[in-house]
Chains A and B, each alone.
Chain A
């Protein structure tokens, strides 16, 4: 059963695809509190890759390492650092633990190449990320809202989306 660890993946990526890996700087999960100690920043052990070259990295995982099964794409909003982090999770068909690729995009212009042309299974994951976080997947064949209705404005899972009030109520009065 294949059992590559995150360190092994970083070493392999650094050897075979120079310039792809980025240094995973620590992320701040919350603004510093008024009193008491601030929580420690979050440093990931997974491979952080250049968002513009995510397809290259993913194809390397699939074609060279055999991790062909794209299980999940998840977005995390790190508001304090001004980035969205995308977490791509791959599995080997023979089994074993997952390998994760992470990519960071700035919150002002969140853009990343789409994996859907290579993995049709990425379709709904990317539409969900577009709908709830507003990330544009360049090259996606049908990038439309998936849960919210088409006329909805804003991206409800972003951390700065207002959690109270409803702009659709009381509009007519």
Chain B
């Protein structure tokens, strides 16, 4: 047999599939990957130290920039952490508005992530355009409520920045009416797509035990068959009031992660329908009138986490009794979900790396912080 020599190649830092500045140092034997080391930090801005030099209130817009696809979900995690530290009550109506925004975020994230994933596989643009079209509709709603499409900065300690505009609910209902059609269409395009089946079934398998040992969260963990969703496991906000299922995969390959994301869009839609039903009866306003924004929490520490579309986003805050956090730490889901990338890619071909990375769904703003 011909003796071959191992070769080291770089994928990235500038590569269309990495969706940001991200490098993978790949050792290949022919076409087969023997080792992969993720290299990042190109977008590092020491977010945590910046946050420690700001007041609690000033950090809210900064959290938008962590995972810039899901600004609302980041706001939610930070707001919960500070509210827990200070002891601020959130009115019922504000909680409903928050959960509504976060579930819309989940739909738009998964629509975008699936679009990008199949784009990376070579089904150029069509699917991505479908996903982006739906995302645009949700961003329009965000704009009408918060004034911004991406960097929403909508949450405040004790509620949200302003109430929903009058035309928000009718527009949301129109969106939901069109939603099942979109999700079914997306699912059909994916499941009946021969390219996708060949590129994703049995690729990038992450077994259940390994997924737990690697501390991955979100759709990556659930795709490996662990039914762990923080909305169920440790309900925060008002998630205990809603009826929804946690979809899980069986094998833990790329295909399972795709299916989990499709099903999560349906479940988010279910939650939103329940919100529409219950919101008119909710007590209180959009904001706790007694809540101060320039907070001065008592000395202590707190860890609060939420289930963002990408996984567990947690904030660990230590307060020294002043208006600035003594320690502000972000537990970013896509940063930790990258840990098993080397193990997931080993033994597969170079072209599979792109697909496996896409199925993890990373955002570099959050990975590099």
The reply on B368 being an interface residue by CB < 8 A is yes
Residue of chain A at shortest CB distance from B42: A147
- Contact B312 A76, beta carbon cutoff 8 Å: no
- Contact A74 B329, beta carbon cutoff 8 Å: yes
CB contacts under 8 Å to B, within A126-173, are 132, 142, 145-149, 156-157, 163
- Contact B300 A98, beta carbon cutoff 8 Å: no
- Contact A29 B321, beta carbon cutoff 8 Å: yes
CB contacts under 8 Å to B, within A84-115, are 87, 89, 91, 93-98, 100
- Contact A71 B331, beta carbon cutoff 8 Å: yes
Q: Which of A94, A121, A123 is in CB contact (< 8 Å) with B233?
A: A94
Chain A residues whose CB sits within 8 angstroms of the CB of B335 once the complex forms: 124
- Contact B336 A74, beta carbon cutoff 8 Å: no
The reply on A72 being an interface residue by CB < 8 A is yes
Chain B residues whose CB sits within 8 angstroms of the CB of A18 once the complex forms: none
Chain B residues whose CB sits within 8 angstroms of the CB of A17 once the complex forms: none
Chain B residues whose CB sits within 8 angstroms of the CB of A30 once the complex forms: 320, 322, 326
Complex-state Cα separation, A146 to B39, whole angstroms: 7
The reply on B199 being an interface residue by CB < 8 A is no
Q: Which of A68, A94, A95 is in CB contact (< 8 Å) with B212?
A: A68
The reply on A39 being an interface residue by CB < 8 A is yes
Complex-state Cα separation, A146 to B318, whole angstroms: 24
Chain A residues whose CB sits within 8 angstroms of the CB of B369 once the complex forms: 147
The reply on B314 being an interface residue by CB < 8 A is yes
The reply on B250 being an interface residue by CB < 8 A is no
- Contact B226 A93, beta carbon cutoff 8 Å: yes
- Contact B41 A96, beta carbon cutoff 8 Å: no
Chain A min CB distance to B49 (Å): 6
Chain A residues whose CB sits within 8 angstroms of the CB of B312 once the complex forms: 71
CB contacts under 8 Å to A, within B217-239, are 217, 226, 228, 232-234
- Contact A121 B339, beta carbon cutoff 8 Å: yes
The reply on B97 being an interface residue by CB < 8 A is no
Question: Is the contact region of chain B dominated by helix, strand, or loop, or is it mixed?
Answer: mixed
Chain A residues whose CB sits within 8 angstroms of the CB of B49 once the complex forms: 156-157, 163
CB contacts under 8 Å to A, within B278-336, are 299-301, 303, 305, 312, 314, 316, 318, 320-322, 326-327, 329, 331, 335-336
Complex-state Cα separation, A132 to B49, whole angstroms: 10
Residue of chain A at shortest CB distance from B326: A29
Chain B residues whose CB sits within 8 angstroms of the CB of A68 once the complex forms: 212
The reply on B247 being an interface residue by CB < 8 A is no
Chain B residues whose CB sits within 8 angstroms of the CB of A132 once the complex forms: 46, 48
The reply on A69 being an interface residue by CB < 8 A is yes
- Contact B216 A121, beta carbon cutoff 8 Å: yes
- Contact B301 A121, beta carbon cutoff 8 Å: no
Complex-state Cα separation, A163 to B301, whole angstroms: 24
- Contact A157 B303, beta carbon cutoff 8 Å: no
Q: Which of A100, A125, A148 is in CB contact (< 8 Å) with B303?
A: A100
The reply on B2 being an interface residue by CB < 8 A is no
Chain A min CB distance to B252 (Å): 15
The reply on B338 being an interface residue by CB < 8 A is yes
Chain B residues whose CB sits within 8 angstroms of the CB of A100 once the complex forms: 303
- Contact A39 B320, beta carbon cutoff 8 Å: yes
- Contact B299 A148, beta carbon cutoff 8 Å: no
Complex-state Cα separation, A74 to B312, whole angstroms: 15
The reply on B166 being an interface residue by CB < 8 A is no
- Contact B336 A121, beta carbon cutoff 8 Å: yes
| Binary flags per residue of A8-29, CB closer than 8 Å to B gives 1, else 0 | 0000000000000000000001
If A89-B303, A100-B303 touch, does A119 touch B41 (CB 8 Å cutoff)?
A: no
The reply on A49 being an interface residue by CB < 8 A is no
Complex-state Cα separation, A39 to B331, whole angstroms: 28
Chain A min CB distance to B154 (Å): 26
The reply on A40 being an interface residue by CB < 8 A is yes
Chain B min CB distance to A165 (Å): 15
17 contacts between A and B (CB under 8 A): A29-B318, A30-B322, A74-B327, A77-B327, A89-B303, A91-B234, A95-B228, A100-B303, A120-B340, A120-B343, A121-B340, A124-B336, A145-B41, A146-B40, A147-B44, A157-B46, A157-B49
B residues adjacent to A (C-beta < 8 A): 37, 40-41, 44, 46, 48-49, 53, 210, 212-217, 226, 228, 232-234, 299-301, 303, 305, 312, 314, 316, 318, 320-322, 326-327, 329, 331, 335-336, 338-340, 343, 368-369
A120-B340, A121-B214, A147-B40 known; 4 other A-B pairs, CB under 8 Å?
A: A30-B322, A42-B300, A74-B327, A96-B233
